Amino acid sequence: MKPPQMPLPKHVAIIMDGNGRWAKKRHLPREAGHYAGMGAVRETVRAACDLGLENLTLFAFSSENWKRPKTEVGALMGLFRAYFRSDMDELVERNVRMRIIGHRGRVAPDIQQMIQDSESRTAPNTGMNLTFAFDYGGQEEIAAAAQELARAAKDGRLDPETITPELFATRLFTSALPAPDLVIRTSGEHRLSNFLLWQSAYAELLFLDTHWPDFDRAALTAAMGQFTARERRFGALDTLDSGAVA
């Protein structure tokens, strides 16, 4: 597929929401929605590669999701295992570099090993950066970064007066990535739900009614078109206002 002739965002982040509602609408168990959602992940990653996106971050499992029923959490963990086993060959073939951000110590040891192996295997790749936010919470991430800087200041390794937003960002999980230009949330909810809170300060937000299992190549391409149509000012005046006489 030939990439569209449009300026693409450097970093797209997606809150994959609506698996349960997709399943309920079809009188299926929630686990069936999560299984269908994994298919949407696969389709979206392929489409992002074909479009030429440089960075794609997917919100796979939040730190709050541990509160869900154990059967549902177990099903989600099973899907993560299945993804690591089934899709790594294709990611390597597509030259994708995969990373996981979040709190790794709370998941089962075999998943920790799968994460480590997948990151190591795709580390040499030079194509799209695919990041999964897994057992991730934005507030927890910000608190951890603040603790790290506080320890450095306490030990005399850092002058607190030198702390800037740019320095703070280097302590976040996403320090190797540009800030997201576009954050997409599916399923009609209009909130970030603790996802990339610091990083999304100037991101364009796009809320879609589509449930995640129905998100596909066409939906991603349409989202790119909406992004292109927006004027990003980062706090400055727009073109018309900047030329006005005070």
**Which residue(s) pair with 56 in the sheet?**
12, 130
Closest CA to 213 of 30, 28, 38: 38
Catalytic: 65? Answer: yes
Catalytic: 17? Answer: yes
Q: CB 28: neighbour CB atoms within 10 A?
A: 14
**Which residue(s) pair with 62 in the sheet?**
136
CA separation for the pair 242, 236 (Å, rounded): 8
The answer to whether 119 touches 99, Cβ cutoff 8 Å, is yes
Of the residues 19, 50, 55, 65, only one is catalytic, namely 65
**DSSP letters spanning 183-218:** EEE-TT--S-TTSSTTTTTT-EEEE-SS-GGG--HH
Q: Which amino acid is at 174?
A: T
Which residue in this structure is represented by tokens 């489409």? 47
The answer to whether 184 touches 126, Cβ cutoff 8 Å, is no
CA separation for the pair 246, 241 (Å, rounded): 10
Of the residues 17, 87, 135, 181, only one is catalytic, namely 17
Tokens coding 119: 């990151």
Active site residues: 17, 65
